Structure 1
Amino acid sequence: MAENAAKRLKTSDGGVTIGTHNGHFHADEALAVHMLRQLPTYASASLVRTRDPALLATCHTVVDVGGEYDAAQNRYDHHQRTFTTTFPGRPTKLSSAGLVFLHFGKALVAQRLNQGEDSEDVGVVWRKLYESFIEALDAHDNGISAYDPDSLAAAGVEKRFSDGGFNLGAVVGRLNANWNEPSPSDPVEAQAAEDARFEKASKRMGEEFDLDLTYYTSAWLPARAVVQAAYAKRHEYDPQGRVMVLEGQSVPWKDHLYTLEEEQKTEDQDKVLYVLYAEKPTPDAKWRIQAVPVTKDSFQSRKALPEPWRGARDEALDGITGVPGGVFVHASGFIGGNKTFEGAKAMADKACSF
């Protein structure tokens, strides 16, 4: 288990140096270096990129090189044959990004939330950030596919088009020099040019990580309490709890809903089918009714709005549903709207029993 970062970090009079390997760089060590630099101890740390063991031995902290994982000595390599460490509760073997986040991630979150590392909120965001951001980098660096290749082949699933390398690993890969780009003949100048590219990659990875850290601490986490309250009241709107109402302002609800249902072991027949929320936090706001997806990123709904309603608008929609104030229902049936809460609630009631 990760230690409290603040207790372990010590600096020498000569300052702090982070070491990583030179040559072709990857997303994991680029992010690992960025994350360390966000902590006070490493804020002005110098960076050494080398594979020379003697130079690495002089570094305060070493990531992604050196053949050693020893948190007590601030050594975070994952390339050893015997390395099998994973994040708590997750199956993916860690890369240097995952190792640094395992040991320093709580400090990063705590710093942003201005809470102690042992607080519940810090733990919740720490786990969420790993699952939503870091784990994909760990898998990419360790050559782990998101889907089992054999299962895909057995099912006859083939890609319909190239995804163009739209992932952070590919973005960082493109920041390396091309094979035929000219390089300074002087080794010192050549290394400096390569290091400059790495710094650009680390900054790029850091921008994405910081955006996620900001989102999960300032938007996603506050939404958790709102969804918890709405989930607790859902039986007031439907005897089976199939309709959840976000009172006041709409918030990101999907992650929290699935987590609550899992934690409370909700039976399939009692799971939320529709979520109602106002378009904006004003008394005259129109209301939306959204069908809950089968999974967070799925285009398939647990129970889409009735087929006869789909694609209809305004008075035509009123005539089909028998509910006044209709605004629209999307052609796929995943979302609709009404001018009032009462209208949206009536639509939900009818959709549940359709």
Structure 2
Amino acid sequence: MAETAAKRLKTSPVTIGTHNGHFHADEALAVYMLRLLPTYHSSQLVRTRDPALLQTCHTVVDVGGEYDASANRYDHHQRTFDTTFPNRPTKLSSAGLVYMHFGKAIIAQHLGVPEEAKEVDIIWGKIYESFIEALDAHDNGISAYDTKAIKAAGIEKKFSDGGFSLGAMVSRLNPNWNDPTPSDPVEAQKVEDEKFLVASTRMGEEFSRDLDYYTRSWLPARDIVHAAYAKRLEYDPKGRILVFDGQSVPWKDHLYTLEAEEGGEAQVLYVLYPEKPTPDAKWRIQCVPVSKDSFESRKPLPEAWRGFRDEKLDEVAGVIGGVFVHAAGFIGGNKTFDGAKAMTLKSLDL
């Protein structure tokens, strides 16, 4: 039987199986990720819950009650399933399973390097934490917060977020309960499959944007942030000022990681960078948030400066060349680097 299956694979396109009916973000993305790889590039898709049909598929995701990577079976609905991504706590969905096993190959292919390359491993972990893990949690009904603790604290949402998540987006792509359905079961399945492919493409577009960002922007910025971090004592004896000489890069993730690795008490409070990579560029002063997604700064620019511009800012700050300080105090600017540095040093003492 195994020989027959192997012979069939040589003469037929590889087939990916997943369940029919209501579709979700995890299997939509799982199918898309597989199809990025040469083995699956021209694969056929079978959406069914028929065990006999699934048995004929080369790879099965999100259905079948089996997780066995050696057999290309990636379901997570078994009662005994508790697999997580390395060093992460969230139970995997089919997206997480496919990414865990095939993500490095996808990243290496995108970068044009071997899977064993250090940068592949760095991005593999980063994309899981920033993108895939939220899908795993959504599909497994895991909240980002301790719901009991939130209730006990009396915290309530200030407004409805409207389901603005990738999982909710895919859910809305499913057929409505009262949409016309072809009477022919084959035609009805075809209509449903077409909607699934729209969802898979939408999920894939977001994944591909993330992959492109982390390989082409985030990763190259890493060395630049490391170099700036190593020079921070040149601007302040306590290392509270980070300066980018050429232009700003995505720095928050890298800065927080460096600080955590170093484990010191001193934190960077301000980041200085030119608005554009030219000698006459104005300079920005950006306050470091308490966390990546926080609107609260570790040390905002002084309250007395906020909301002022130009000559009036020069007057209240006592530094020539001021451009502005935002009313919320999280960012400001000066016409020159020396002016931005002087504003920052004054702010440290206020």
Q: RMSD between aligned alpha carbons?
A: 1.0
Residue 168 of structure 1: aligned partner: 166
Q: CA deviation at 1:11?
A: 5.1
Unaligned runs of 5+ in 1: 1-9
Cα separation, 2, equivalents of 1:11 and 1:38: 19
Contact 1:287 1:339 in 2 (8 A): yes
Residue 307 of structure 2: aligned partner: 311
Q: CA deviation at 1:266?
A: 2.4
Structure 1 segments, 4+ long, off by >6 Å, are: none
Give the counterpart of 1:109 among 107, 110, 123: 107
Residue 342 of structure 1: aligned partner: 338
Give the counterpart of 2:286 among 278, 287, 290: 290
Residue 353 of structure 1: aligned partner: 349
Residue 316 of structure 2: aligned partner: 320
Pairs aligned (count): 343
Equivalent position amino acid for 1:336 in 2: G
Mapping for residues 229-248 of structure 1, pairs under 5 Å: 229-248=227-246
What's the CA shift string for 1:20-74, capped at 9, x where partnerless?
0000000000000000000011000000000111111110000000000000110
Cα separation, 2, equivalents of 1:58 and 1:353: 70
2:78 corresponds to 1:80: yes
Give the counterpart of 2:138 among 140, 143, 147: 140
Contact 1:11 1:41 in 2 (8 A): no
Residue 200 of structure 1: aligned partner: 198
Cα separation, 2, equivalents of 1:136 and 1:276: 32
Q: CA deviation at 1:119?
A: 1.1
Mapping for residues 126-137 of structure 1, pairs under 5 Å: 126-137=124-135
Give the counterpart of 1:223 among 221, 224, 236: 221
Equivalent position amino acid for 2:198 in 1: K
Q: What secondary structure is seen at the aligned counterpart in 2 of 1:12?
A: helix
Q: What secondary structure is seen at the aligned counterpart in 2 of 1:131?
A: helix
Cα separation, 1, equivalents of 2:150 and 2:144: 11
Cα separation, 1, equivalents of 2:10 and 2:49: 22
Residue 44 of structure 1: aligned partner: 42
Q: CA deviation at 1:321?
A: 1.1
TM-score (norm. length: structure 2): 0.97
Give the counterpart of 1:183 among 172, 177, 181: 181
Residue 29 of structure 1: aligned partner: 27
Cα separation, 2, equivalents of 1:11 and 1:165: 41
Q: What secondary structure is seen at the aligned counterpart in 1 of 2:63?
A: coil
Equivalent position amino acid for 1:259 in 2: T
Q: CA deviation at 1:116?
A: 1.1
Residue 209 of structure 2: aligned partner: 211
Cα separation, 1, equivalents of 2:244 and 2:38: 39
Unaligned runs of 5+ in 2: 1-7
